[in-house]
Chain A
Amino acid sequence: MAVLPLLFALIGLVLYTVLGGADFGAGLWQLLAGRGPAADRIREHAHQANAPVWEANHVWLIFVVTVLWTAYPTVIGSVSATLSVPLGLAALGIVLRGLTYAMQTAIGRPVPLVENAFALACLVSPFMLGAVIGALASGRVPVGTSGGDLVGSWVNPTSVLAGGLAVLTSAFLGAVYLAADARRLRAAELERAFRLRALISGALCGAVAIGGLVVVDHDAHRIFLGLVTGWGVVAVVVSGAAGVVSLALVARRSFGVARLAAATAVAALVAGWAVAQRPFLLPGLTLRMAAADTRTLVCLVVATVAGALIVLPALGYLFRLSLSGRFDPGRAPGAAVAPAPVSRSRRLPAAPVAAACLVAGFVLLTIADAPAAHAAGVLLLSGAAIAGFTAVDPAGLAGRGDAVNESDD
């Protein structure tokens, strides 16, 4: 039981890296696009593609945080106390990103300052989150809320490696995603541009990951040992192979499958880290010691499974609409036809209903004292609000104008 929430959190982390990461990556490519009309098209494309999905993708991060603090509260307490700087910077980056995103959408055309701020946020947030993981992996977060080294905990070889990898992975995933999107839109020039970017960033990613093993050997030897023995080796090999496969697929322009392969590479990497870190979450703190009360864990697991049953199909639907191009600009209207007006047959006397609900609700909520009466009172008052709104009939009211605009009618 103690391990299930961690598993969920890791799955959430992988999904956040793959989905949210691609969104960050798109922002990075806006930063690197350069100047000129071709660059403008690249920026435009990078912005358009994510619009419908980025908020849903972002929620994975919140999911991870909330699962961790419910299931392993000490860990979140300790991590927050020691890593306040990178976490704070990541949070600032997230705010900046949301803001500039909303601004870009509202303007509808590129404004350099806003775009650069957006792209900067897309660089800072994944790097800082990666650095946090590096700090955890290299055992630099002591247990307890008095905190560890405020600077050294995240400015160190492993953290820089993890942060850099997070940025590169984001760039790669973003490029693959945008290339796939360009292909759907039959924008050959954009497709070429993003394919090239995907190949370069993917190759860099692989190189850094392999070179990173040396860093890990020196700086986080325990993790290194975990990665080169037992299941750790399997994870590393799977990750490497999946990475190579996904690069080959990008080269062959099978972008959709390439994303899956890239996701596998990321998942294997995270799994490898988890295996290597076992059984400690923080130095001296095992999973079992950190876990919350069993009852909380059971509730959390049940809630997560139930939530997943609702959310995953919905998420699938969103992605299907998005990936199949239903949201593309200029797509043939599904139905801009005005629907046939429905005749207004039933007409409840809304005003008397509202008044009756109000009086009854008042009696039950204010004069009566039992909780059940209060509940009924609240329901009646809600009814009064709805009936009152219907009685006022705001749209009809507006249709009639006021005396000043008598002529409008």
Chain B
Amino acid sequence: MIPGPEYLDQARQLQALSFTVHIPLVCFGIAFPAMVLWAEWRYLRTGDAVCRVLARRWTKVMVALFAAGVVTGTVLSFEMGLLWPSFTATFGSVFGLAFAIEGFSFFVEAIFLGIYAYGWDRLSPRLHFASGIPVVLSGLTGSFMVIAVNGWLNHPQGFRIENGRVVDVQPLTALFGNSYFWHEFVHMYLAGYLVAGFAVAAPYAFARLRGRWDRYHRTAFAIPFTAAAVTAPLQVLVGDWVARDVAVQQPVKLAAIEGLGTTTAGAPEHLLGYYTDGHVIWGIEIPRLLSLLAFHDPGATVTGLDSVPLSDQPPVNVVRYAFQTMVGGGTLRALLGVVFLVLVRRSRRLPETRWFYRAAVVSAPVAYVALIAGWVTTEVGRQPWVVYGVMRTEDAVTGATTVPFGYGALAAVYALLIAGLIWVLRVLARAPLPALSIPDAPSVRQPGGA
């Protein structure tokens, strides 16, 4: 059975669909536990009851999102085999180790999340707080392992191919000794804080616009928003580092990102526009900027798309627009973060204008779009290769005629999942607050307040 091209597209879309559902949930796995723990820690230190209520309520949200992350992740682990059987059969022994280790980190996460979520009021405060720490750490190790796989796909090493079989496998070198891995990991980890921070803050910003703004809402807004606001400017610095690494290690991807048709010395940067026939048309051209950004030298030579045959080039416009979406979104969020930090530093109060809160509400979808756009840049920019330069995506795809059926079913189930999750979050948000002396418990110490 020769895999028809239509399966290739459908399999890709199916994979992309599954990722667009899984990755945002993963962001909560990465960053949310830290925010919840911070609120609990604050309560332990100051006795601030609002922080305690917050941590408890967030715990429920965290559990629901974790459940969704678990099941979508399980689908992904099945899809590896179902959609790309040749890829798994050929390279499983090279990259599988990371997933196996990741399995243990999920164990730790699931176990301690169970203890944390159901241990409120049942464990001593210290023990309860301590049980949350492994959850934060396993969010780190979990993303570490998956990104190790992605780094390896982008920059394969640690094996040789003999007669179509993989030999001389060095899984540790392949996964962790990889020069493509670190920037991806740092960038993704920060993205987790951005996406989760803005997403958690958004409903409270919305509440503020609706006029609900007691101390509970203010605290619930301030914690995640601050986390996102300090991360956003750093993400730009890290993104620049990422781009420089890509320039060296995957020059064709960089050329696609920038729409650079021919290898050029002193290459210009183009904003917007459309790539066709080896050029970007209707774009804003900034001379020499690309060489400067990518190699810190305005005269440096940047490899163009023409360095490989057309059949080895990724779809340029998809990659370019995805990249510009990410950078645009990222820059705007970084600006908002800086505005917030400056305002807070000046007035020592939360910002007052409604515009700020409107921007905060919009930040959640913008951060999510930037996240997905970033992955589209990475993954589509890697095409036509699954394993960069080694195995083509069309050789990896399944020949199973069940792909369209699976596509329909999975799309329906994901639609259900998203609808159900939104509904769950609404139910949780509407649960009445416990009888706390909100807005201000007089007994609460107000540290920092004179």
Interface positions of A (Cβ within 8 A of B) = 51-53, 55-56, 58-59, 61-63, 65-67, 69-74, 76-81, 84-85, 87-88, 90-92, 94-103, 105-107, 145-147, 150, 292-293, 295-296, 299-300, 303-304, 307, 310-311, 314-315, 317-318, 321-322, 326-327, 331, 333-336, 338-342, 344, 351, 354, 358, 361-362, 365-367, 369, 371, 374-375, 378, 381, 384-385, 388-389, 391-405, 408-409
Contacts and interface: CB of A to CB of B under 8 A. Distances in A.
B119 interface: yes
A147 B1 contact: yes
Contacts of B119: 321, 326-327
B64 to A, nearest CB: 4
B104 A333 contact: no
A73 B90 contact: yes
Given A70-B99, A92-B410, A293-B93, A55 B1 contact: no
A107 B398 CA distance: 40
Given A87-B78, A299-B171, A98 B70 contact: yes
25 contacts: A63-B103, A67-B100, A76-B88, A80-B80, A81-B399, A84-B402, A95-B413, A99-B417, A147-B398, A295-B171, A296-B97, A307-B104, A335-B123, A354-B230, A375-B182, A378-B238, A393-B448, A396-B448, A397-B222, A400-B350, A402-B213, A403-B349, A405-B213, A405-B214, A408-B215
Contacts of B111: 56, 311, 314-315, 317-318
A335 B111 CA distance: 22
Contacts of B113: 55
B151 to A, nearest CB: 14
Interface of B: 1, 39, 42-51, 60, 63-64, 66-68, 70-75, 77-82, 85-86, 88-94, 96-97, 99-104, 106-108, 110-115, 117-119, 121-125, 134, 166-172, 179, 182, 186, 213-215, 218-219, 221-223, 225-227, 229-231, 234, 237-238, 240-241, 296, 341, 344-345, 348-352, 398-402, 405-406, 409-410, 413-414, 416-417, 420-421, 423-424, 427-428, 439-440, 444-449
Contacts, number: 381
A397 B348 contact: yes
Contact of A402 (B46, B182, B351): B351
A409 B103 CA distance: 48
A88 B356 CA distance: 45
A78 B78 CA distance: 13
Nearest to A387: B230
B108 A395 contact: no
B215 to A, nearest CB: 6
Contacts of A102: 63-64, 67-68, 420-421, 424
Nearest to B186: A378
Contact of B124 (A87, A334, A396): A334
A402 B121 contact: no
Given A98-B68, A408-B214, A392 B121 contact: no
